[in-house]
Amino acid sequence: MTRMRAPLAAVAAAAVLLAGCSPAEPSAPAPPEGVTVAIVQQRSDVAERMAQVRVYNGSDEAFAFAAVRVDDGRFAASVDLEADADLAPGRTVDLRFALPEVACDDPDELRTVVFGLPDGGELAVDLTGAEDFTRGLHERECLMRDIERTASLAWTAFEPSAPGEPAHAMLTATPTGSGDPVEFAGIRSTNLLRFRPRDGEFWRLALGLDAASPVTGVEVPLVPQRCDPHVVQEDKRGTIFTIDVDLPREGTVELAMPPELKARVLTWVAEWCEFGR
């Protein structure tokens, strides 16, 4: 379980789920009318698999709670958070937590957020059926788990280039020896990087592998999307690539560059774009 205190401050989020205040089948009473709950994720938290429980008090009275529990059947464990929050009307608190591992075998769709009150009571909000970023995350990570029975994917090297020329990143597939055949259709560009000389937004792979395949490396040529200094300074997802998968089923997975390669890429973009000259 994850436990941490969070400040009473609003934090911007990339994906937002707003839920009503009345559980469909409450195990505990609902919070006061006007209190809403969201599970959100900032762009900077994607690679670290962090998220926040966002609580907004739109009621006319203060809303105090001492703990929050997130129960989501698509994940292998609940999350317990100490909060010590006393929200005045109009205030918001974000409680940051690490996402548990996904549960891929017959996941339960039930999703609730339960508030532990200072007097020991509980209030509950039902999020079942509402759209949020965790649905897509669950699908991608379960697909990646299926893929990894056959082969693991990783960005393993990066070769920078002179301004105007493409750099090359190495995508390596290493068979793991037990799963069904997999096929990777291609890689999508990011907000920071695109491909050259082929179509800049999609690099076609058509890479088929099975458990008996050799270790396979693919050199992917990269150039910056644009040369604005803030693109590097504010980068959150520039080195997280979406890969289209045709087998074992159609879908997408996300593959982030490891920190050491990400640092080299950001340095290269700055040099390639000649920032500061």
Condensed to tens digits (0 to 9), the pLDDT of residues 122-153 reads 999 999 877 788 989 999 999 999 999 999 99
Put simply, whether the predicted model's pTM sits higher than 0.95 gets the answer: no
Cβ neighbours of 64 (radius 10 Å): 15
- Cis status of the peptide bond prior to 224, with omega within 30 of 0: no
CATH 2.60.40.2830 domain residues, the chain: 35-130
The separation between the first and the last C-alpha atoms of the chain, rounded to the nearest angstrom, is 49
* 55 against 25, higher pLDDT: 55
Mean pLDDT across 215-232:
92
pLDDT of residue 13: 36
- For residue 277, pLDDT beyond 70: no
Fold category of 35-130 in CATH: Immunoglobulin-like (2.60.40)
Cα 182 to Cα 184: distance, rounded to the nearest angstrom: 7
CATH of domain 148-272: 2.60.40
- Nearest residue to 144 (alpha-carbon basis) of 248, 45, 259, 218: 248
DSSP 8-class letter at 45: G
